[in-house]
Amino acid sequence: MDKIYENIKRHMEYFCLTCGARQCGSEGEKLAADYIENEFKKSGYETVREYYDTFGWVCDEFSLYNVTQDREITNVTASYFSNSCDIEGVPLLITYEDVDRIEELPVKGRICFVEPYMEIMDANPALVGGLNAFEEKLDRLGAVAAIFIGTYHITDAPSTKLPRSPHIENLAAMTLGRDAAIDVRKNIGDTYRLKISARKFPHRSCNVIARVAGSGKKGVVGAHYDTAPFVQGAGDNASGTAVLLELARLAKDKCADFAVDFCAYSAEEYIPRGEKCPPGSGNYVKAHKGEDIRWYLNIDDVGMYLSPYVLHLTRPELLPEIKSPVAHIDNKGPFGDDAAYINAGIPTVWMGNLDPYKRLHTAEDCLDNISLETVAWAVEKNLDLFLQLINS
């Protein structure tokens, strides 16, 4: 256990502190991929990279300023894939009642303050695609910027990926935490300056894979190493990637007659328009669709304090009988990289934690809020699940 803990600590510190934010196209993404490849090789694996086209995004600065009152608004963030802007104006308030008649509103050339939040937008039957679709519609209608309120994640730290459409052409987007949202709404008639310096670009991401040859039947174990922008992504998903590296090390000679791929994906943190799964895992499933993949073990979101564990099973009738390492089991999904496998009819297993404070995709998802002991514990529990799948 001491060796596992030492390695977990080393992996987590590298991903969170040396790499930092690891969104597609960032330097952190590249550093993480190189590190993962090196660790797989140190464990004695044949290691390959599989590349696919994505969107990259980097942002140098962002700010929201109340010009009327001569003060900066804090607790804000630029949203993933936002375009650049430097604009002043009085925001146009868009309420829930406005969503279905947005084409009638004078949004062209305006900063729009979007009052409806993600859960409401996603539940609107007239708005297929939810918040991302609404962002794209504002872009098509000529709005220059949109300010969204974040509620799905912790209200004290705004989510950096609400919304997150890479398909906006000109729109700049910003998300506000609770206090900032209330402040702007109370002073909606004031003039604001919204400034974002960012760029979006075509990018080639890669999955890094440690490979074990076998008799034909195959198992896949995966974790994503990318993050939302501006965040360390300690729980989502430095923790899962660290567990993947340790699991691969410990399972090197325990794969029986299975072929096994240990996959570290990038590009989990967004889903392109028209797709049903993230690009990284989606590309893997497409590239290996002719293979006899019997199951997929996903590792994502582990180690956050005060976060109970749930074992998620999909297509359990196609799995061997699983003895769960945790008390709570459900059959819900998909949630992330498991989606590509579920859509392909492949059964999935995922032991992850449920965060009551919704810290994922915010600055609160950092190394200080992770229990390294629990991440090391998750290595042992995922190894147990892996051996059950291999030996059944």
Q: State pLDDT tens for residues 228-245.
A: 999 999 999 999 999 999
In a domain, 148, yes or no: yes
Q: Judge if 166 and 248 occupy the same domain.
A: no
H/E stretch holding 119: helix 118-123
| Residue 287 belongs to some domain of the structure | yes
Q: How far does the chain reach from its first CA to its final CA, in angstroms? A: 26
Report d(CA 133, CA 113) in Å as an integer.
16
* Domain co-membership, 324 together with 216: yes
Question: What is the pLDDT at residue 84?
Answer: 98
290, part of any domain: yes
What's the pLDDT at 328?
85
pLDDT in tens, 74-130: 999 999 999 999 999 999 999 988 988 999 999 999 999 999 877 777 777 667 678
């930092």: which residue's tokens?
Answer: 20
Taking the CB of residue 55, how many other CB atoms lie within 10 A of it?
21
CATH code at 144?
3.50.30.30
Q: Give a yes or no: residue 195 inside a domain.
A: no
Using DSSP's 3-state secondary structure scheme, residue 333 falls into coil
For the ranges 9-13, 96-100, 102-106, 219-223, the lowest mean pLDDT is seen at 96-100
Last residue of a domain, one of 190, 224, 250: 190
Residue 153 has pLDDT above 70, yes or no: no
Domain-embedded: residue 241: yes
Higher-confidence residue of 333 and 55: namely 55
Residues 267 and 380 in one domain: yes
Q: Could you tell me if residue 318 is inside a domain?
A: yes
Q: What is the mean pLDDT of the chain?
A: 93
For residue 187 the two structure tokens come to 């002073």
Model pLDDT, residue 125:
65
DSSP state of 216: S
Residue partners of 274: CB distance under 8 A and separation at least 6? none
Tell me: do 235 and 125 sit in the same domain: no
- In this predicted structure, the answer to whether residue 152 has a pLDDT above a threshold of 70 is no
**Residue 150: which domain range?**
68-190
- Please report whether residue 260 resides in a domain: yes
Q: What is the pLDDT of residue 1?
A: 62
Please tell me the predicted confidence (pLDDT) of residue 274.
78
Helix axes 372-391, 239-250, angle to 10 degrees: 50
Cα 259 to the center of its chain, rounded Å: 28
Whether 255 and 375 map to the same domain: the answer is yes
Same domain as 239, residue 286: yes
Helix or strand run (H / E) with residue 275 = none
Residue 151 has pLDDT above 80, yes or no: no
The CATH number of the domain holding residue 32 is 3.40.630.10
How far is the C-alpha of 53 from the C-alpha of 79, rounded, in Å?
21
The residue from 190, 225, 246 where one domain ends is 190
CB 341 within 8 A of CB 229: no
- Asked whether residue 208 falls in the same domain as residue 313, the answer is yes
253 CB contacts (<8 Å, ≥6 apart)?
Answer: none
Residue 61, Cβ neighbours under 10 Å: how many? 10
Question: Which position has the token pair 């949109």?
Answer: 146
139 and 271 fall within a common domain: no
**Number of domains the chain contains:** 2
Nearest Cα to 242, choosing from 40, 12, 1?
12
Strand residue runs (E) in the chain: 46-66, 71-73, 76-78, 85-89, 92-94, 111-114, 145-149, 172-176, 192-212, 217-224, 259-265, 292-298, 309-314, 328-330, 348-353
Q: Are residues 260 and 170 in the same domain?
A: no
**Are 174 and 254 within one domain?**
no
Q: Say if 137 falls within a structural domain.
A: yes
- CB distance 19 to 31 below 8 Å: yes
pLDDT tens-digit series, residues 341-359? 999 999 999 999 988 888 9
Residues 269 and 246 occupy one common structural domain: yes
Query: Do 215 and 162 lie in a common domain?
Result: no
**What is the structure's pLDDT at 117?**
78
Q: Which of 190, 222, 254 represents a domain boundary (last residue)? A: 190
Per-residue pLDDT at 128:
64
pLDDT band at residue 35 using 50, 70 and 90 as cut-offs: very high
